[in-house]
Structure 1
Amino acid sequence: MASDIRTSELKSPIDVAEYLFRRLHEVGVRGVHGVPGDYNLVALDYIPKVGLKWVGNCNELNAGYAADGYARIKGISAVVTTFGVGELSLLNAIAGAYSEYVPIVHIVGTPSTLSQRDGMLLHHTLGNGNFEVFANMSQNISCAMAKLNDPHDAAGLIDNAIRECWVQSRPVYITLPTDMVQKKIEGDRLNTPIDLNYPKNPPEKEDYVVDVILKYLHEAKNPVILVDACAIRHRALDEVHKLVEKSRLPTFVAPMGKGAVNETLPNYGGVYAGTGSNEGVAERVESSDLVLTIGSIKSDFNTAGFTYRVSQLHTIDFHSTYMRVRYSEYPGVSMHGVLQKVTARMGKLNVQAGPAPDNKIAKKDQGMSQGELITHDWLWPRVGQWLEPNDIVITETGTANFGIWETKFPEGVTALSQVLWGSIGYSVGACQGAALAAKETGNRRTILFVGDGSFELTAQELSTMIRNDLKPIIFVICNEGYTIERYIHGMDATYNDIQQWNFKDLVAVFGADPKKSKTYQVRTKQEADNLFKDEDFSSAPYLQFVELYMPKEDAPRSLKGTAEASAKTNAKQ
C-alpha cells in the first residue's frame, strides 16, 4: 500500500490528479479525450479546475483516434479511460499512434492500491486477481509507463512520462489508482517546466557526420531531397525548410510526409512513391546520384508496394536517433543538429531542376457534360484548386489517402492520414480531434475525405463533433463499400459490400441544430464543381456534410498499383 507524505512536509501541497492535469496543460493540451468509468470519475473532476476541457467521446476507440488527430495538430494529446474494459477498447488506436510516432498520454483510472494488493475480485478484471495483465498489454505500444502507486515518486514519474512522450513522439501509459487521486504531493515542482528539449549531439561526432555528408553532397551531380513522416513527428520541419529553401534542390515528399514541405516552393516536385509517384517524379528521383531522405518510413503503402528504386549506395538518411550515410551508420546522432550545420555550411551545390506539379485536370477528365460522374482523376486536382492556405486535410486509408497524392497543396496545409497502421475508420475520430485542435489554435478549416465503408466503423464521432460545436467539412465518398479491398482481392465479393446508409441524415439524427449545420449530395462533376465554387460552403461557417458519389470500381492510379503489389505480397509462400 502506498505510504503517505505528511502534508506539513510539503511547501505547496497539491493532489496527484491536479498535478498530472496541470502538467498536461503546461505542454499544450487543452481538450482531454476519453470515456468516463467508475475508476476514473473522481480524477475527471480535476479537468475543468485546471483550465482543461472534457471532450467526451462515444467510445474509447474513437477517443483514441481523436487524440491521435489532436496530437498531430497540437503536438501532444491526452486520453482517459477506465481499467480493463475501457483501456482495451483504446488499444487499437494507441498501437496506431505508436507505429506512426504520435505522442498520446494515456491515463487509466485503476482500482485502489489496496484492492490490487489484496487481489480483490472486482468488476472489469479477469477475476483472477491479476491487476497487471492490461498494463502488460500496453507495454509494447508505449515508450514509457508510469504506475502512480506511491505519492513519493508520483510527480517524478508523471514528469518523466510526459517528457518521453514528447521527445520520443510516441504514446505513454499512466495508471492512476482511485486512492491516489487525492493524495498530496509537492506542487512546488510545477514552478519548473518539464524539459522538452531534444538531447544535443556529441559535437565532434556531429561535425564528423556533417563533413562526410557535405563531401558527398558537393560531389553529387544531381542530388534531391525526399521528406517523410518522421520529419514531421520529430519536429524537424523548420530545419527541413531552411535546407530546402537554401539548397534549392528538387524536393519531394513520401505519402506519409505529405504536407511536410511548402508545396508552393519552386523546387517542390511532388510525391515519390515508386511506381505510384506523381508524373515525372520517379524518373527524377531514381536517376539522382544522391538522395537525402529525411525521416523516412519505407512501409508498403508508403512506397506503393515496395516499388522504390533508390540504391542505399546513393542515399543519406536523416533520422531522430541516428544518421546513415550510404552504408555507414552513426548511432546517437540526431538529424536536428546535423540539418542545421549542413544548411549553414553547404555552399554552392549542383542543382538540376525537377518536375513542377500543379492542379491542372487532364484534358481527358475535364468533361462536364450533363450527368457526367465524378472520378478520382478529376476530383483530386479539383480539390487542390479549392483548398486554402493552412487547411487541415484528413484522408482515410483507402481511395482518399491515395487520391490526395495527386493534390498540390497551398502553403501551410497540414495533412493527416494513417498510411502505416491503416486502421479503417481512423479518419473520422481523427477529424474530431483535429477540428478541436483547430478551434483552439485559430480559424483553420478542417476537411475530411472518408469512404462510406470506413465511415460506418466510427460514425458516432460525428455526434462528438456536434456536441463540441466543431465545424469540419466532411466528404463521405459513396462508392458502395471497401474499394481498396476490392482491388486487393474480391472485386465483386459480398464481404467487400456494405449496407447503404442515408449518410447525411445522420447529422440530424445526432442532434445537430439545423441553423448550425448543412448537408449536401453531389453525384456529378458539375454538382461537385458548383459546390466547390459556393463561397458560403467554402467559408466553413458550421459543420457541413457532403455525400459525394463515385463509381464503385473507380480508384486512383496509385491505389490500383499498390493493391496489386499488396496482393502479390499476400500470396507469397
Structure 2
Amino acid sequence: MSTISLGRYLFERLHQVSVDTIFGLPGDFNLTLLDKIYEVPGMRWAGNANELNAAYAADGYARVKGMACLLTTFGVGELSALNGIAGSYAEHVGVLHVVGVPSTSSQAKNLLLHHTLGNGDFTVFHRMSSNISETTSIVTDVAQAPAEIDRCIRETYIKQRPVYLGIPANFFDLPISAKLLNTPIDLSLHENDEEAETEAIDLVLGLVKDAVNPIILVDACASRHDVKEETKKLIDITQYPTFVTPMGKGAINEQHPRYGGVYVGNLTDPAIKEAVESADLILSVGALLSDFNTGSFSYGLKTKNVVEFHSDYVKIRNASFPGVQMKFVLQKLNRQLPPYTKNYKPVPVPTKTASNKNVAASTPMKQEWMWNQLAKFLQEGDIVISETGTSGFGINQTSFPNNTTGISQVLWGSIGFATGCTLGATMAAEEIDPKKRVILFTGDGSLQLTVQEISTMVRWNLKPYLFVLNNNGYTIEKLIHGEHAGYNEIQPWNHLELFHAFGAKEGTFENHRVSTTGEWNKLTESKQFQDNTKIRMIEVMLPVMDAPTSLIKQAKLTASINAKN
C-alpha cells in the first residue's frame, strides 16, 4: 500500500507501541474511525458499557502496559469520561483520549448540531479537557495530522499523563503516505542538562557519604515512570532499609531482605514509623504526598536531608533541579555509589508482621484477619486491584510476592474505579500472559457504581477474581461521618446472580460465598481455584462496621480535617 487512511494510521501507530485494545463507546462522530480498528491485525475494540467505565478501564490497561487509548464521541461521550481522565491525570497514568469531533464543514457553518450546547461553540469541550491533559490537539490539517498523532502518542507515553486528541469526522478516511509508518515514534527521554545533573548527583553522593542511618522510601511514580529496575539496583547497592507508601505498593520486591514495610505517617506500625522517622537521610523515589498516602500529612521526619527523585525534577534539601529526570540520575548515581556506601553498616529492618495464628474454622470473617491471610493466596506476577475504601487500606497489611503489581487509586479516590480498572488490567494481562492473574477487591457499595463492566468481562471471556466485600453499605463513609445515616446505605444485591444477569454461559464462571475463616482457607487453598481458568465472583460476608485498623484511624483524621474552619 502506498497510502492508508488517517484513521488506520492512528491505530497502526498505537499497535506499534503495544496498545492493542481500544476502550470506549461508539457515537456518530467516531463510527467511521472505529471501522479502522478492524483493519489492524492484533487490534481489538473493547466495547464498554459507558464512557466513565471505559476511562477507568483505560487507566487500568495503562498501568499494566504503560499506555492506553480511550475513544469517545464529541460532547456527550467525552464529558462522561472526564472523571476517569482526571484520575489518570492526578495519578500519572498515560491515557490517549481520542475524540471524534464534528466535520470541519459543520463547524465552519456553525450548525446547531446534536451533542453541542446549542451556541455554536465547538471548542468548549476541548477547553474543559485541557485542564486535565498534559497536552491537547485538534487536527485541522491532514498534512500535519500524522505528526500530531505521533506527538500525542509520545507525550502520553513519556509524560504518563492523559493527552487529548480531537479528529474531525471527515478526516478519518483521508489518505496519507503509508511510508510514514516505517519510522518508529521516538519514545526515548531527552537527556538531562549535564551540568545540572552532575551537580545534583554530587550533592546526593555527599549526603550518602555522611549518612549513618539512611533509608529509601518508594512511592507511586517509581512504577508510573518506569524506574523500578533502577530503584531495585539502588536498594541492592546501598543495602539501605527500604519502605513504600500505600501508592508505592508493588513498586519493589517485598520479599527483598531490605524491605521494611509500608510507611503512612502516624498510621504506621510503630517499628516502621521509628525506622523511617529516625533516619538521617531519606532517598525518596517518585513521591505523591497526598493525604491518604501520608496519613493526612502526618510524616514526622526528623531530618532535612531528604532527596526527592521525580520524573521531571530532583529536589535535594531545599535545592530544586527542574528538568533533571530521575531515570538518568538514578542510573548514573547507581554507577557512582559503591565507594560512598562502603562504610555503611546495614541495620536490621523492622520485623514483618507475623502470619495469622490458627483460629477455629467457624470463626466469622474479619478484615484484619483476611488481609494478613491473603498473602498465602497471592502468587508471583499477580495484579492486585483494591478499591478506594476498606480494600485500599487493608491491602497495606498484605505481603506481596515478588513481581506483584498493586493498583489502588489512593489520590483521586473515585469510588467504583476498581471494577472498571479490573477490566482494562485483565485485558492488558491477557495480552502479556493468559495465565497472569488479576484479583479485584471491592466493596458492595463501590461495585454498584460500575458493575456494568462485569458484562464486558463476560463478553471477552476474561478470567479475573472478583472479591466483593459485603459489609452492607459505604463503610468508609460511615466511619468518617453518618454511621446510621440513610445516605450511606445501599440496596442489597444478590451478587452471585450477576453472571447470569450479564449472560455468562454455564461452565464459564464460578460463584462463591465466604462467611468464615474455614470457608476462606478451603477455597483459597484449592489448586483448582488458584488457576485462573474462569471468571469468579467471591462474596465475602463481613460485619457492617468491620474495617482495617488503619482505615478507622484515617477516618477519624479525615473527619477532623473536614470539620476545621
The two structures have a TM-score, normalised by structure 2, of 0.97
> Is the CA contact (8 Å cut-off) linking 1:266 and 1:356 kept in structure 2?
no
Alignment of 1:83-94 (within 5 A): 83-94=74-85
2:278–2:302 CA contact under 8 A, matched in 1: no
> Following TM superposition, by how much is the alpha carbon of 1:358 offset from its aligned partner in structure 2, in angstroms?
4.7
Q: Report percent identity of matched pairs.
A: 47
Contact 1:143 1:170 in 2 (8 A): yes
Contact 1:300 1:306 in 2 (8 A): yes
Q: Which amino acid aligns with 1:567?
A: A
5+ long unaligned stretches in structure 1: 1-10
Q: What's the CA shift for 1:350?
A: 4.0
For the structure 1 residues 144 and 260, does the alpha-carbon distance in structure 2 shift closer, same or farther, using more than 3 Å as the test? same
Look up the equivalent residue of 1:448 and give its one-letter code.
L
Cross-structure match for 1:466: 458
Asked if 2 retains the 8 angstrom alpha-carbon contact of 1:250 and 1:268, the reply is yes
* Corresponding residue for residue 108 of structure 1: 99
The match for 1:252 among 243, 268, 287 is 243
**Partner Cα separation in structure 2 for residue 54 and residue 32 of structure 1:** 5
Report what 1:340 is aligned to. Answer: 331
1:64 aligns with 2:55: yes
1:206 pairs with 2:197: yes
Structure 1 distance, partners of 2:153, 2:564, is 42
Which residue in 1 is equivalent to 2:513? Answer: 521
Aligned to 1:469, what secondary structure does the other structure show? coil
Q: Is 1:195 the counterpart of 2:189 in the alignment? A: no
In structure 2, the residue matched to 1:43 is 33
Alignment of 1:434-473 (within 5 A): 434-442=425-433, 443-473=435-465
Is 2:369 the counterpart of 1:374? no
Cα distance change of structure 1 residues 165 and 26 upon mapping to structure 2, 3 Å threshold: same
Q: How does 1:295-444 map to 2 (within 5 A)?
A: 295-311=286-302, 313-347=304-338, 348=342, 349-358=344-353, 360-361=355-356, 363=357, 366-370=358-362, 372-442=363-433, 443-444=435-436
The superposition leaves residues 436-490 of structure 1 with CA deviations (integer Å, 9 ceiling, x where unpaired) of 1111100210100000000000000000000011000100000011111111111
Q: Residue type matched to 1:48 in 2?
A: Y
Among 518, 526, 529, the residue aligned to 1:534: 526
CA contact (8 A) 1:359 1:408 kept: no
Cα distance in 2 for residues equivalent to 1:488 and 1:21: 45
Q: How far is 1:279 from its partner?
A: 5.2
Which among 473, 482, 490 is matched to residue 481 of structure 1? Answer: 473
How far apart in 2 are the matches of 1:27 and 1:130?
Answer: 34
RMSD: 1.2
Displacement over 6 Å in runs of 4+: none
Is contact 1:66–1:432 with CA below 8 Å preserved after alignment? yes
Q: How many residues align?
A: 559
2:8 alignment counterpart: 18
Asked whether 1:285 is paired with 2:276, we answer: yes
Mean CA deviation greater in 150-159 or 463-472: 150-159
1:555 aligns with 2:547: yes
What's the offset of the Cα at 1:13? 2.2
CA contact (8 A) 1:359 1:384 kept: no
CA contact (8 A) 1:389 1:412 kept: yes
Q: 1:186 to 1:47 in 2, by over 3 A?
A: same
| Aligned 8 A contact 1:102 1:233 in 2 | yes
- Whole-angstrom CA distance in 1 between matches of 2:194 and 2:511: 58
Counterpart of 1:280 in 2: which secondary structure? helix
Q: Which amino acid aligns with 1:407?
A: T
CA contact (8 A) 2:479 2:552 kept: yes
Write the deviation string for residues 262-296 of structure 1: whole angstroms up to 9, x where unpaired: 11110011100112224521110001111111000
SS at match of 1:424: coil
Q: d(CA) in 2 for partners of 1:342 and 1:208? A: 12
Q: Which runs of 5+ in 2 are unaligned?
A: none
Q: Structure 2: which amino acid aligns with 1:25?
A: H
Counterpart residue identity of residue 472, structure 1:
P
Contact 1:224 1:249 (8 Å CA) reproduced? yes
TM-score by length of 1: 0.96
Distance, in Å, in 1 between the alignment partners of 2:490 and 2:173 is: 48
Question: In the alignment, does 2:21 pair up with 1:31?
Answer: yes
Query: Paired residue for 1:160, among 133, 141, 151?
Result: 151
Answer yes or no: is the 8 Å Cα contact 1:14–1:185 preserved in 2. yes
Query: C-alpha offsets along residues 382-410 of structure 1, whole Å, 9 cap, x if unaligned?
Result: 10111000000000000001000000100
The CA deviation string for residues 227-280 of structure 1, in whole angstroms up to 9 with x for no partner, is 000111111111111111121110000000100001111001110011222452
Structure 1 Cα separation of the partners of residues 360 and 291 of structure 2: 36
